[in-house]
Amino acid sequence: MLCIKHSINLCFKVRAKGQKTIEEAFQEMANASAKKRQRTMLNRLLDMTDSISFMYMSSNKNVMYLGEVIATLKESLNIPISQNEIVEHLEHLSKIAPDWCTISYSLDQKKLMKINHSFPVKNVLALIEIELVRTAPKSAGQSQPPQ
């Protein structure tokens, strides 16, 4: 009887360990997927930033409704991207370069995007590049730079 009880306990321990291993593997895959998605977003932002800058300069405006920006970007980008993805990209851009790009609400509760023309676009691109380097996957033999 004791031997059967021990075998059952051992079986539960093995199953629990296997379940934990599976959960850890899924977590690693989810983290890798999130990092890949973020890097894709940052690479797209490099192109989008130039388009946004051109759009604001050519319209001689520093504030536009977000809907206008989205529609223009959707037409000008050479990649299939949804409006929701563009909004995510623009919100991420406003976090990376808050001195250049801000998103706020108008009095009628519509989203506005404001660009600071005195902040150089090349600096925005540099900030995105820094973020790309920061999120780069670490290779096995690579040591971390001091912070």
Domain holding 126, by residue range, is 37-133
Q: Kindly report the CA angle at 50 between 44 and 52, in degrees rounded to 5?
A: 95
- Mean pLDDT computed over every residue of the chain: 84
Is 66 within the bounds of a domain? yes
How far is the CA of 50 from the CAs of 42, 88, 125, 145, 147, in angstroms?
13, 17, 9, 30, 30
Alpha-carbon distance 56 to 47, whole Å?
15
Residue 8 has pLDDT above 80, yes or no: no
pLDDT given at position 5: 66
Residues 110-119 pLDDT 10s: 999 999 999 9
The model's pLDDT over 49-98, given as tens digits with 9 standing for 90+, comes to 999 999 999 999 999 999 999 999 999 888 888 999 999 999 999 999 99
Overall number of domains in the chain: 1
- Is residue 32 domain-resident? no
Return the CATH number at 50.
Answer: 1.10.10.1420
